[in-house]
């Protein structure tokens, strides 16, 4: 089991680790040293135990914030995935409907118009005819100059 010397907050510690874990240990020690430097810069000299505790707590706080951010992003991705699946389903449904229409009658096939729309068109046509008749009648009437 290798022993690795790491420096945290200007203090050197000897730590044992499993074979092959040395790079991970050095990386973790570098993170802890960065936080220890902040603590020492703010508070000054302190016992190693307290320095390590404060630096560890600062790292834990950063980790908790990152975990919260990660959860929020995962929730956002899940919401976007649901919206994407819904849009894909609607698109597939429309594709099926178009394919059915093409198979049932080709390009010249008539499309069924909903009853409400037909009634609306009929009413508009009747109003347009009434307006045209009124305009024709007004044009035939003598003007009152």
Residues 6 or more apart in contact with residue 23 via CB below 8 angstroms: none
Chain-wide mean pLDDT for the chain? Answer: 86
pLDDT of residue 93: 87
Whether the predicted pLDDT of 145 surpasses 60? no
Domain ranges of the chain: 3-94
Task: Answer yes or no: are the C-beta atoms of 9 and 39 closer than 8 Å.
Answer: yes
pLDDT tens by residue, 38-53: 999 998 889 989 999 9
CA–CA gap between residue 127 and residue 14 (Å, rounded)? 95
Give pTM, 2 decimals.
0.55
Q: What is the DSSP letter of 36?
A: H
pLDDT tens by residue, 57-103: 999 999 999 999 999 999 999 999 999 999 999 988 888 888 888 78
């Amino acid at each position: 089991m290798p022993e690795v010397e790491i420096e945290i907050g200007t203090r050197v510690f000897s730590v044992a680790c499993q074979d092959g874990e040395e790079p991970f240990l050095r990386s973790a020690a570098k993170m802890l040293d960065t936080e220890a430097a902040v603590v020492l810069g703010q508070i000054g000299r302190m016992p190693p135990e307290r320095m390590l505790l404060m630096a560890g707590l600062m790292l834990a706080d950063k980790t908790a914030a990152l975990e919260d951010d990660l959860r929020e992003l995962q929730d956002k991705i899940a919401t976007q995935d649901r919206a994407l699946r819904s849009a894909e389903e609607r698109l597939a449904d429309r594709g099926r409907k178009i394919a059915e229409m093409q198979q049932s009658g080709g390009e010249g096939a008539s499309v069924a118009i909903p009853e409400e729309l037909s009634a609306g068109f009929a009413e508009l046509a009747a109003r347009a005819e009434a307006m045209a008749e009124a305009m024709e009648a007004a044009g035939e009437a003598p003007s009152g100059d």
